[in-house]
Structure 1
Amino acid sequence: MRDMTLAQQYATFATSLEFGALSDDVVEMAKTCLKDSIAHALASLQRPEAVAARATFLEVHDRGTACVWGTDIRTSSATAAYLNALTCSCTIQNDTLVVSNSHPGMSVIPTIFALSEESDCSGRDLIVALVAGYEIIAHFGKILVSPDFAKCFRATSHVGPIGAAAAASRILKLTPSQTTCAISLNANTMSGFNAWAAEGTNDLVFHSAPMARNAIEAAKLVAHDLKMAEQIFESPSGVFSAFRVHFDAKNVIDELSELKGMSEVIFKPAPTCVFTQGACLLSDELAQKYGAISPEEIVCGEVRVTNAAQRYPGCDNPSRFMTQFDAQLSIQFSTIAILAAGGLRYAPWDNWSDPTLQAAASRIELVSDDKLSDKYPETNGSIVKIQLSDGRLLEAELPNFASMTAEAIQDRFMLNASQILGSDNASRLSDLIANLDRPEATIRDLAASLAPSSHARAS
């Protein structure tokens, strides 16, 4: 008997996972991930990309039961997943798996939410599918993604399709064989380059949307018992050959069953890349201690990071700032902007075009630190040193940047949700998510609270 392929093992795990196997911590993390994704989507409804996507894809004939979060629009599950995934990604502050620098929420959650509405699934069904998708993305990311890979390819848009397809198949209650085929079919949609980081453009916002839509279409297609390549990863013409990956797909189900991936999810306090977070927090710490620092006072500086951080596209950028997005990705500019603003909470990137900030950023050197690199990805540390014109040397070190707490995620969720849905609907939505693991909880109840109240209506 032939050993199971990687796609078959992912499928077996996704279809066999039961709610009873999930610890309380895993269930609570799943709820937090759901809140986090919805909060980002609601904050981005009026972003130009979101407005353009709604105008483009909401056609008269595209009717359905799935909601576009924060609006009164009902559409097909595939279109709703596309639009919600897009708004999820606009803040560039999504939940993150540090090892692969991928963002599972933007691909998995819009996919399974839209399908769950259409299928009238329970809250527990959604939680199980979410965990299955996240665990597979975490596992596959460790196989596929490396600093060399990330120089060209966007990790999320390559690992996301695999987890999203598995999660969608779980919601539709497909068989292991059908789920294998859904994973295989969706693997053919793995795409997305990091050229956006070189030009400061927003291409990456549109990486997640097709992932979610494609996952739904793949799962629905194979429900008709269409056959796809079971060796999509291992074939000489498959994924591993294309990306020059060597992996022995044994005992994968046992590894996945340990459910370690959910514990590896972190939440970013700053709206920028995960590799920029440490410098942002250290600059905020220095600003709180010494007050706002004028850019002209900064003679020079050094930020020490991991080799992965220095090599990630857009992070080592001391002087090319064509857009605000350039500035947000740049570790050098983020360090200066937070110091000058007096802290992270003062939206320091709003003044990205200020020539004094840009000039100060050019005086900051980004250094790959061997000790920090040796501890990566278990830790993602940073060191900041700033030399001032009055002779003072400001120094701060962070062995590993701290993820936002569940309480902080809740605060952000309530802030964003109240602005779009109204405070009553936001509170009701929060309560429904908190009780999502109760047997009577359904996704349709949750979706009803995602429409705006009459006094806070989104266009």
Structure 2
Amino acid sequence: MSQTRTTRPPQPTTAALAEFASRLTTRQLDDVERREAARHLVDTLGACVAGAGQPVWRSAAGVLRELDLVGAARPVPIPGTTERGDVLHAAYLMAVACHALELDDGNREGSIHPGTVVVPAALALGHRLDSDGDDLIAAVVAGYEVAIALAEVLHPHAARRGFQTTPVAGVIGAAAACGRLLGLAPAEMESALGIAASSSAGLFAYLAGGGNIKKLHPAHAAREGVFAALLAAEGGVQGPRGVAEGPAGVFQAFAGLAGGPPAEPRRNALAVVRSYLKPYPACRHIHPAIDALLALRGEHGIDPAQVASINVGTYEAAMPHAALGWDTLPIAQLSFPYVVAVALQYGAVALPHFSDETRARPEIAALAAKVSVHADPVCCAAYPAHGPADVTIVMADGTRHQRYVAEPLGSPDLALSDAQLLEKFSISVAGLPRAADAGRMAAGLLGGAAPGVRALVHELLA
């Protein structure tokens, strides 16, 4: 255990968060906190490499290339590719890649994907600054803390108004991470958070069509978070103080909380410790149902062809995913019927199961048609403290198999092992020319090593 932290913010107010982010060092992190920061960094790096080159990434990169914002003369290399960008658009493309395949981490209480915003912003600016590994870890922890503390107040109120918390709060977390790399003083950090808040955005409208725009939400946030921190460091632009809790601030504008955050004590553990890692490339809301289905399939030797119905009880926040189709990969990864059918048919949920060929298979469509999803009172009462699902499979002969899952795999209390995390990372970076070196680098990070940002990125280039 290292030195005691004295600056943990007692409430998610702007000044307290700015003070925390500005003054945090790795010497203030205990072994668990530093280890979890490293685990989330490794996981996000793998997601960044895996997602680079996906169709939505190619589209964004193509536009930026035409605008001369990406090219060989640019300073910041982009993991998983041979591309380079300026600091803002390198962060942008890294964030698109991180979120492209639904592999990235998250925090349930805030319903936010922090890594896909915070880590790309810190990597891009850290490469420009030649930041060392300790500063990168501290920046990641600071960014997660700010983004998640705000998201935990916003959720579920912002979602009910149509806003996605990842870009709304994530841009402020990205600014915090970058402000920490720039060495901003607390007042400058609060200005950076205030500047970033004016770029908060992101609508849930993609659930009704245009699903791949979701992949750009973290990218917008990462880019604008970097820019906000740089503006604050330069000093000519001042962000408003108290931008989270003040009049017309983030809590009021996005969540309708005119009086600021509810008067609740903050959780003791840092946000990065309270966050999850994904074992499956699908929306996290579906993961507890996946765990239940895989357990039932294994225990009872269920033949998918003999299934009459699959009933899934979930919580209200997951219901927008209850009846989504699967005509595209991005929407299929968010679709309860499709992912449930895949889990039962194949006994696994992996990236190949979202291919065009698999999505067109009639046996998947037949199983998906047997899936019904409803808001279960017990699950609703448990969320967001827990992320449950109650799954019942009825067979053609009337036999019923039921399983309640209180917490999905990858949650802090049901964590992926280091071996599982490194296996996920290895699969994600398998196409790199230095994949073995990248794997050793990842293992070293989990063991406490802290390579500088430039050395770290170098191992991840195509």
- TM-score for both structures, normalised by structure 1: 0.88
| 1:132 aligned residue (136, 139, 142) | 142
The answer as to 2:85 corresponding to 1:75 is yes
Q: For 1:278-427, list aligned pairs within 5 A.
A: 278-291=288-301, 293-295=303-305, 297-310=306-319, 313=320, 315-317=321-323, 320-345=325-350, 347-350=352-355, 351-403=358-410, 404-427=416-439
Answer yes or no: is the 8 Å Cα contact 1:200–1:324 preserved in 2: no
| 2:270 aligned residue (237, 243, 260) | 260
Instruction: Please give the per-residue CA displacement for 1:143-190, whole angstroms capped at 9, x wherever unaligned.
Output: 112166256211201110111111110101112121111111110111
- How many residues align structurally? 440
User: Which is worse superposed, 380-389 or 144-153?
Assistant: 144-153
Match of 1:41 in 2: 48
Query: Displacement of 1:338 after TM fit?
Result: 1.6
The answer as to 2:45 corresponding to 1:10 is no
Query: Displacement of 1:340 after TM fit?
Result: 1.7
Answer yes or no: is the 8 Å Cα contact 2:106–2:277 preserved in 1: yes
Separation (CA, whole Å) in 1 of partners of 2:231 and 2:448: 29
Answer yes or no: is the 8 Å Cα contact 2:315–2:380 preserved in 1: yes
Query: Displacement of 1:135 after TM fit?
Result: 1.1
Q: For 1:71-220, list aligned pairs within 5 A.
A: 71-146=81-156, 149-150=159-160, 152-199=162-209, 201-220=211-230
SS in structure 1 at match of 2:431? helix
Q: Sequence identity, in percent?
A: 25
Aligned partner letter, 1:263: V
Answer yes or no: is the 8 Å Cα contact 1:84–1:110 preserved in 2: yes
Separation (CA, whole Å) in 1 of partners of 2:323 and 2:391: 16
Q: 1:333 to 1:52 in 2, by over 3 A?
A: closer
Which structure 2 segments of 5+ residues have no match?
1-10, 411-415
Q: For 1:221-232, list aligned pairs within 5 A.
A: 221-225=231-235, 226-232=237-243
Q: 1:84 to 1:97 in 2, by over 3 A?
A: same
Q: 1:251 to 1:19 in 2, by over 3 A?
A: farther
SS in structure 1 at match of 2:330? helix
Q: 1:288 to 1:81 in 2, by over 3 A?
A: same
| 2:457 aligned residue (447, 452, 456) | 447
Instruction: Please give the per-residue CA displacement for 1:294-329, whole angstroms capped at 9, x wherever unaligned.
Output: 35x32223111123222xx2x1117x4433433332
Separation (CA, whole Å) in 2 of partners of 1:293 and 1:419: 35
SS in structure 2 at match of 1:266? coil
Answer yes or no: is the 8 Å Cα contact 2:281–2:351 preserved in 1: no
- TM-score for both structures, normalised by structure 2: 0.88
Match of 1:456 in 2: none
Query: Displacement of 1:201 after TM fit?
Result: 2.1
Q: Root-mean-square deviation (CA), in Å?
A: 2.6
Answer yes or no: is the 8 Å Cα contact 1:284–1:344 preserved in 2: no
Separation (CA, whole Å) in 2 of partners of 1:285 and 1:347: 21
Aligned partner letter, 1:381: P
Query: Displacement of 1:293 after TM fit?
Result: 2.9
Separation (CA, whole Å) in 1 of partners of 2:376 and 2:170: 30
SS in structure 1 at match of 2:430? helix
Query: Displacement of 1:286 after TM fit?
Result: 2.4
Aligned partner letter, 1:179: M
Separation (CA, whole Å) in 2 of partners of 1:5 and 1:142: 9
Aligned partner letter, 1:307: E
Aligned partner letter, 1:413: F
Instruction: Please give the per-residue CA displacement for 1:62-90, whole angstroms capped at 9, x wherever unaligned.
Output: 54432200223333211211111110000
Match of 1:31 in 2: 38
Answer yes or no: is the 8 Å Cα contact 1:301–1:385 preserved in 2: yes
Separation (CA, whole Å) in 1 of partners of 2:274 and 2:221: 22
Match of 1:237 in 2: 248
Answer yes or no: is the 8 Å Cα contact 2:312–2:371 preserved in 1: yes
Answer yes or no: is the 8 Å Cα contact 1:292–1:341 preserved in 2: no
Q: 1:283 to 1:164 in 2, by over 3 A?
A: same
Aligned partner letter, 1:306: Y
Query: Displacement of 1:330 after TM fit?
Result: 2.2
Answer yes or no: is the 8 Å Cα contact 2:158–2:164 preserved in 1: no
Separation (CA, whole Å) in 2 of partners of 1:165 and 1:126: 14
Match of 2:413 in 1: none
Aligned partner letter, 1:196: Y
The answer as to 2:441 corresponding to 1:429 is yes
Answer yes or no: is the 8 Å Cα contact 1:418–1:426 preserved in 2: no
Separation (CA, whole Å) in 1 of partners of 2:242 and 2:317: 31
SS in structure 1 at match of 2:338? helix
Aligned partner letter, 2:318: A
Answer yes or no: is the 8 Å Cα contact 1:107–1:212 preserved in 2: yes
Query: Displacement of 1:283 after TM fit?
Result: 1.6
Answer yes or no: is the 8 Å Cα contact 1:199–1:322 preserved in 2: no
SS in structure 1 at match of 2:333? helix
